[in-house]
Each structure stands twice: as C-alpha cells, then as structure tokens.
C-alpha cells in the first residue's frame, strides 16, 4: 500500500511546554490508524500537525509528495477542504444551519450548486442513518445523531483522509460504537484513510493498527496489514 501522508521529526511546543518531541508517522492509502496515548501525550497535536491545522516548530509533513509545512496558508486551506475530512468531539456543526445544510456546507464552499450539494448530502445522510433529521438544527438532535451528521459532512467531499479526534468522546457506548461502525465502514467503502485519535481501546479496535504517543514521541505498536 502506498504511503499517503507522513510526518517526520515533528517538534511542537506551546510556550515552555513541549507537546511533540520528534514524533513521526506514516499513513497508507485506505487504512484506519488509531493514535492512542495518555492525556497530554501529544496525540491531538500530532493529528493537528498531520492535518495542516497546526504548523510544527520543526519537522516535515508530506501529503502525496507535497510538503504541507512549506505551503502557503491558502494552499493548505484548499487542501484541507478538498482532500481531508474532519470529525471532532464537540461543536463542529453550525447551529444556525439545518443538519442537511451543515452536511452540504463543504460542497457549497467548493462552489457546487445548492441542489446538487443537497442531493449528494442526502445520500450521505441516508448512509449514516440520519436522513430523518435533515431539516432539524443540530441543537434539536441527539448527541449520536449530531456525530453521525458530522461524519456525513466529513465524507461528503470524498476525502482521501478523514481526521477524527475523539469522535465518540461525548457519546455513550452504544452510540459511540454506532458512529465508529458507520465511519469505518463508509471509509473502507470509499477508500478513505482514517486517522483516529482516541483514548478508548474499544474505539481503537475498529482500526487496522495502532500508534502510541508517549511524551510527544510516537511508536508503531502493531502493523496489521
């Protein structure tokens, strides 16, 4: 399998606190990788650097041969919008928009006509079993439904990589499992890689392999494929 996204020698500090201390990782096409580690180990910082959200102090992040750290902010934003999808723990949906409009948002931002964007979004909402809340606002849905709407929004642009930072962190076990099952099934069907940050082993068990981050350094614990 070809390496899609990789990072080498990442260092990142916030003030005097070092979050990453030489972390590296390689994500191959279509694989689901869980990044695990204790609180404060640097796993979310690693995800944010990989996704081009945070610039590392030093080290490189390479996506399909392009160095993300050398790109302009605009080029990185464009890359994030077209190639990456994101699912976070909280607060990712726009409260004023309906769930359907939320899912359609990345397509609309890319210039797609409303009708086409909403048609594609409805398909994804059906796959994620949230088509029943299409016309409701995020505040009117349950936590599990909201996360599945967020997963639909992350997948609607057919991204190559989905970044998921504690996507089940605010959900009970049953809803968390449903989100993970639907997210990984959809990603495997579409060939998207998933980079999943979680502290829950049952969530990580949906992945193909695990990378452990401790004290800002990452370590591959197991390659399954």
Partner 1 sequence: MVCIVLLMSIGHALLGLLEGGPRHGYDLKRAYDERFGQDRPLHYGQVYSTLSRLLKNGLVSEAGVEAGDGPERKRYAITDAGVTDVERWLGTPEKPEPYLQNTLYAKVVLALLSGRSATEVLDTQRAAHLRAMRDLTRRKVDGDLADQLICDFALFHLEADLRWLELTAARLDALAEEVAR
Note the residues at the interface with partner 1 (CB under 8 A).
Answer: 38, 181, 185, 200-202, 204-208, 210, 212, 214, 219, 221-222, 224
162 forms beta bridges with 85, 194
- Spatial strand order of the sheet with 193-197 comes to 84-87, 161-165, 193-197, 32-36, 209-214, 217-222
When the beta carbons of 11 and 214 are compared against partner 1, the nearer one is 214
When the beta carbons of 96 and 220 are compared against partner 1, the nearer one is 220
Both structure tokens of 104: 């359609």
**Minimum gap (Å) between residue 23 Cβ and partner 1:** 16
**Minimum gap (Å) between residue 212 Cβ and partner 1:** 7
When the beta carbons of 41 and 102 are compared against partner 1, the nearer one is 41
Q: Are 4 and 161 in contact (CB under 8 A)?
A: yes
When the beta carbons of 41 and 98 are compared against partner 1, the nearer one is 41
193-212 as b/e: b if 16+ CB within 10 A = bbbbbbeeeebbebbbbbbb
Separation CA 166–CA 140 (nearest Å): 22
CA 93 from centroid of its chain's CA atoms: 14
**Minimum gap (Å) between residue 6 Cβ and partner 1:** 22
**Minimum gap (Å) between residue 42 Cβ and partner 1:** 14
**Minimum gap (Å) between residue 33 Cβ and partner 1:** 12
When the beta carbons of 27 and 211 are compared against partner 1, the nearer one is 211
Alpha-helix residue ranges (DSSP H) falling in 51-89: 73-83
**Minimum gap (Å) between residue 153 Cβ and partner 1:** 23
User: At 83, is the secondary structure helix, strand, or coil?
Assistant: helix
When the beta carbons of 70 and 205 are compared against partner 1, the nearer one is 205
- Nearest CA-CA partner of 160 in 103, 66, 78, 82: 82
Separation CA 9–CA 168 (nearest Å): 29
CA 164 from centroid of its chain's CA atoms: 3
């Amino acid at each position: 399998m070809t390496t899609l996204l990789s990072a080498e020698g990442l260092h990142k500090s916030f003030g005097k606190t070092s979050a990453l201390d030489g972390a590296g990782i390689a994500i191959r096409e279509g694989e689901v990788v869980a990044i695990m580690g204790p609180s404060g180990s640097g796993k979310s910082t690693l995800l944010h650097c990989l996704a081009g959200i945070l610039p590392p102090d030093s080290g490189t992040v390479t996506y399909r041969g392009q160095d993300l750290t050398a790109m302009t902010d605009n080029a990185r934003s464009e890359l994030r919008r077209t190639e990456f999808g994101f699912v976070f723990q909280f607060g990712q949906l726009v409260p004023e928009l309906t769930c359907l409009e939320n899912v359609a948002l990345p397509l609309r931002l890319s210039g797609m006509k409303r009708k086409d964007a909403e048609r594609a979004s409805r398909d994804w909402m059906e796959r994620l079993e949230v088509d029943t809340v299409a016309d409701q606002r995020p505040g009117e849905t349950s936590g599990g439904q909201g996360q599945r709407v967020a997963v639909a929004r992350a997948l609607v642009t057919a991204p190559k990589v989905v970044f998921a930072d504690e996507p089940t962190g605010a959900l009970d076990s049953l809803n968390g499992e449903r989100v993970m099952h639907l997210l990984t099934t959809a990603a495997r069907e579409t060939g998207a890689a998933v980079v999943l940050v979680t502290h829950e082993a049952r969530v990580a068990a949906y992945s193909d392999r695990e990378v452990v981050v401790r004290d800002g350094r990452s370590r591959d614990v197991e390659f399954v494929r």
